[in-house]
Amino acid sequence: MLFRRLYTSLTNSNRNPFLLYQNLTTPFPNFHSNPFVLPTPTILKSRVFLSKRFVSSSFPAMAEGKRPTHVHIPHPESADKAELYRALEAAVGSPFSSDALAPEPHPLIIVVSGPSGVGKDAVINRLREVRENIHFVVTATTRGKREGEVDGKDYFFVSKDEFLGMIERHELLEYALVYGDYKGIPKEQIREHMAKGLDIVLRVDIQGAATLRRILRNSAVFVFLVAESEDALVKRLIDRKTESKESLLVRIATAREEVRHMKEFDYVVVNREGELENSVKLVESIIDAEKAKVRQRTVKI
Ligand SMILES: Nc1ncnc2c1ncn2[C@@H]1O[C@H](COP(=O)(O)OP(=O)(O)OP(=O)(O)O)[C@@H](O)[C@H]1O
């Protein structure tokens, strides 16, 4: 088994059949930065015995008997760890690198959307508490500041002229006129935090998600949050006690239509009654799974 691995490494890493021999006859300067180093004389005295079959298939020149290649690899069970490590390095022909084998995952943009009252704010607020390295984008708005709201935390409150200037300068990733007020996502905020390696979470309504999908396509992750049933969603909206009867009717009717857009998203998270923690965990798992993808999403804004 050990030999099979060794042979594979040799065939992959050392195409030159003489390199192994050369490495054995020259000093190993990098070894001294390694905790498992052995003094050079030990390695120079070591020899590996490569099987005839392996040598003839991998190193035809050696098979012809032009260069003997012998490094002694001590028995793994009884060997000194450092000696074994160094002998293996010598046998494969190059020092073992401590560089990361997998590339760093890219920062992500996660778009969280779903019908009104499903729990977008609740999930995002909890995610904020439990997960680091995430930036929650603060939207720019022309709406007046409400009591208790903090500029730069809840929204960036800007005048209509300032907002129109931002549109002209292409500073917004997406914007919309909502009930007479502009709302938009500043690009610079996303760029700045992604450059620091942070993931970005955007909370948008279904229409906003559709616009972002057109702009970002598959470079962002789109998560659709949904209640377990219409019945549960309506009860949640009633319990929130923030809506007038007209507003309740509009939100419920809109939610019916919005659920049809689920298929345009990458993931669906069912935010069940009393199970907010599970929903947050699932969103975290989605982020983790995205980070583990071999083909990472790459965002250009
Ligand atoms: N899993 C859950 N179980 C019980 N209640 C929940 C759950 N998730 C959210 N809620 C509650 O449901 C109500 C609606 O949630 P929230 O305000 O977060 O929804 P939203 O999707 O952000 O709504 P909107 O789009 O109208 O702003 C809140 O009172 C919230 O505390």
CATH number at residue 179: 3.30.63.10
CB 109 within 8 A of CB 220: yes
Give the pLDDT confidence of 196-248 residue by residue, as tens digits.
999 999 999 999 999 999 999 999 999 999 999 999 999 998 998 888 899 89
- Which numbered atom of ligand 1 lies nearest the CA of 279? 1
- Closest-CA residue, ligand 1 atom 29, reads 240
Please indicate, yes or no, whether residues 88 and 145 belong to a single structural domain of this protein.
no
Q: The dihedral of CA 176, 166, 123, 264: what is its sign?
A: positive
Statement to judge: residues 110 and 185 lie in one domain: no
Tell me, yes or no, whether 189 and 207 share the same domain: no
> Ligand 1 mean position to 187 CA, how many Å?
27
Q: Which atom of ligand 1 is nearest to the CA of 271?
A: 1
Enumerate the active-site residues. Answer: 146, 240, 251
Taking Cα atoms as reference points, which of 101, 103, 105, 123 lies closest to residue 114?
123
* H or E segment and range at residue 182: strand 181-186
Ligand 1, atom 26, residue with closest C-alpha: 116
Question: What is the number of domains present in the chain?
Answer: 3
Same domain, 287 and 151: no
Domain encompassing residue 37: 2-92
Least confident stretch, 27-31, 156-160, 165-169? 27-31
Query: Is the predicted pLDDT of residue 83 greater than 50, yes or no?
Result: yes
Considering the domain architecture, whether residues 152 and 233 belong to the same structural domain is answered as: no
Same domain, 217 and 180: no
Are residues 168 and 157 part of one domain? yes
Q: What's the pLDDT score for residue 69?
A: 61
Per-residue pLDDT averaged across 53-60, rounded?
44
The helix (run of H) or strand (run of E) holding residue 92 is helix 81-92
Cα of 278 to ligand 1 centre, how many Å?
A: 14
Is residue 137 predicted with pLDDT exceeding 50? yes
Verify that 189 and 201 share a domain, yes or no.
Answer: no
Whole-prediction pTM: 0.75
Lining residues, ligand 1, CB within 6 Å: 114, 116-122, 236, 240, 271-276
In a shared domain, residues 121 and 230? yes
With 50 as the cut, is the pLDDT of residue 63 above it?
no
CA of 33 to the centre of ligand 1 (A): 55
Whether 240 and 205 share a structural domain: yes
